[in-house]
Amino acid sequence: MKRNLLKFLLLITIIFLPTWAKSVFACQCYGLPTPYQAFKESNVVFTGKVEEILDSEGNKVEDEEKRRENGEIFEGYRFYRFAVDESFKGDKKQEVVIGLSLNMCQFGFKKGDNLLVYASEDEGKLWTGTFCYRTKDINETQDDIHFLREILQNKSEPRIYGSVRLDNVGFNPPQLKFVEGIKIVAQSLKGKRKYIAFTDKNGLYRFNKLPNGTYIVSPELPKKYTLSFWLYKEKIKLVSEEIYEHLGYEEFWGKSAYADFRIAWNNKVTGKVLDAESKPLEHATVRLIPIDKIEQISEKPLEDDEYYKQSLYPINPQSKIRGYKISNTAPGKYILAVEIYAPFSDGKDRFRMYYPQTTDPKQSKVITIGEFGEQSIDIKLPAEFILREIEGSFIWQDGTPVNGGWIFLKKNNSPKLDDNYLYDKEKTEVTGKFKFKVFENTEYWIHSEVDLFKAKPIKVKVGKSNELIKISISTTDNNQ
């Protein structure tokens, strides 16, 4: 190896620091398969009643409903013996056993449930699902059943049907609710004629015996609701020659077409996380916690829990406006928690605070969230949390900026570079400059590397001083 192949120069200054967000929800389904997709991709389709619940060894499970009532979430396999009522695909049997993998997003059936089941074969067994599957209670699937009967009779009347469902009705587990009385408009692109339907008590709507043609289908929502994700309208072409074909994003073709709409509560909680001097943070996790879940708050990091949680990030790189935004939350009473990464010298990794400024969740201010509306709540950290910047330049020995070099900021008091102890990292561009936002009175190790060469780490103590620190580093045989 060669010695002193490269020399790095870091210009480091400590100055004052002068964040936005997406909503993240657990167990979100980005759209069910259409009835014809589910029919075509399944090996067995039938209606039937759950007669027995079995474990993976084939033994009867008697306490499944009691366990569910107690709030216990079983993760594993369950098998359900069905008495078949009407068969649409597969061998016509009086009984069939269907497997289901249970987890926090997918819950099992109850004894006595009457269902329309779509199941596929894998390794000699039939499997279905409840999350992002069309297997549903028979009362919610009358239009599917009507469509399946038409397929078997080799006929299909031109019609459009579907459902409107509300996301995030409940918390842990998340639930869905079919919404009654929602107006659905199907507008013909030729002739501009409008057809109107309303959802029934099961959240279902239908347009029967429509003329052949192309339609734009969309819901007209009350102010308290908004559409979830991108599902705002469906383009549907009805023709008498085809049963069904999916042409791509938002476009359907066939005699009988399906359009499902997902809606959510139209509310928001927005704000900023500020340091003690009212400067906005970039790195923080903000979460709404239902008040009936306060006793269940654990010490694990908030970012490990997806419910009603928001991590900050810059919504617009050209703007200095930063903050958090939590949308479409189920109405109710909550407390607001914020957690920051705070690697102080006493060994603490994280600091968690509950609004307005307490570390005890029981002393937090209760926030009421309605069906509609926006609240702005800024969260200010205690006096010891003052933001500063570590700013510098990464240059070659001749003064040329390093383009594409990596600067790593490491959190603990060991100079060893390890991802488990990494606070932040940044890749330099043509100017060779880098910048980190950190807290005052904190020690960090700065690592730098380019290509295969690593520099010796530099220890930095973050303070109030704006004085420029000039540090020259050269490689050695040991760190190449």
pLDDT at position 418, please? 60
The Cα 364–Cα 382 span in angstroms is 15
Instruction: List CB contacts of 207: < 8 A, sequence separation 6 or more.
Output: 159, 160, 161, 186, 195, 197
- Contacts of residues 242-245 at CB distance under 8 Å and 24 or more positions apart, as own/partner, are 243/36, 243/151, 243/156, 244/34, 244/36
Same fold, 7-15+386-479 and 267-380: yes
- What pLDDT, on the 0 to 100 scale, is given for residue 64? 67
Ramachandran assignment for 192, one of left (phi > 0), alpha (psi -120 to 50 degrees), beta (any other): left
Break the chain down into helix, strand, coil percent, rounded to 5: 10, 45, 45
Q: Give the CATH H-level superfamily of domain 156-259.
A: Immunoglobulins (2.60.40.10)
Q: What is the token pair recorded at 16?
A: 């004052």
pLDDT, residue 7, reads 34
pLDDT at position 132: 77
pLDDT digits over 292-336, tens only? 888 888 777 776 554 444 444 333 333 344 688 888 888 999 999
Convert the pLDDT of each residue in 4-55 to its tens digit.
Answer: 333 333 344 433 332 222 233 345 555 567 777 788 889 999 999 999 999 8
User: CATH assignment of 32-138, given 3.20.20.70, 2.40.50.120, 3.30.1960.10, 2.130.10.10?
Assistant: 2.40.50.120
Q: For the domain covering 267-380, report its CATH number.
A: 2.60.40
- Locate the domains of the chain by residue range: 7-15+386-479, 32-138, 156-259, 267-380
Quote the CATH superfamily of domain 7-15+386-479. Answer: Carboxypeptidase-like, regulatory domain (2.60.40.1120)
Residue-level pLDDT at 60: 87
| pLDDT reported for residue 21 | 24
- Cα dihedral 124, 130, 134, 137, rounded to 10, equals 110
Nearest-CA neighbor of 240 among 206, 210, 205, 196? 210
pLDDT-flagged residues of the chain (< 50): 1-26, 171-174, 230-232, 240-251, 306-321, 471-472, 475-480
pTM, full prediction: 0.67
The CB-side HSE value for 355 (13 A sphere, CA atoms) comes to 21
- Return the structure tokens found at 296: 């269940």
pLDDT given at position 213? 76
Beta-carbon count within 10 A of 460 CB: 21
Give the other-Cβ count within 10 Å of 265's Cβ. Answer: 23
Closest residue by Cα to residue 71 from 113, 110, 104, 26: 104
CB of 372 closer than 8 Å to CB of 269: no
Round to whole Å and give the CA distance between 475 and 459: 17
pLDDT of residue 70: 59
Residue of 209, 186, 213 lying closest to 197 (CA atoms): 186
Q: What is the pLDDT of residue 356?
A: 95
What pLDDT is recorded for position 152?
84
Beta strand ranges found along 189-244 (DSSP E) = 194-198, 204-207, 213-220, 225-227, 234-238
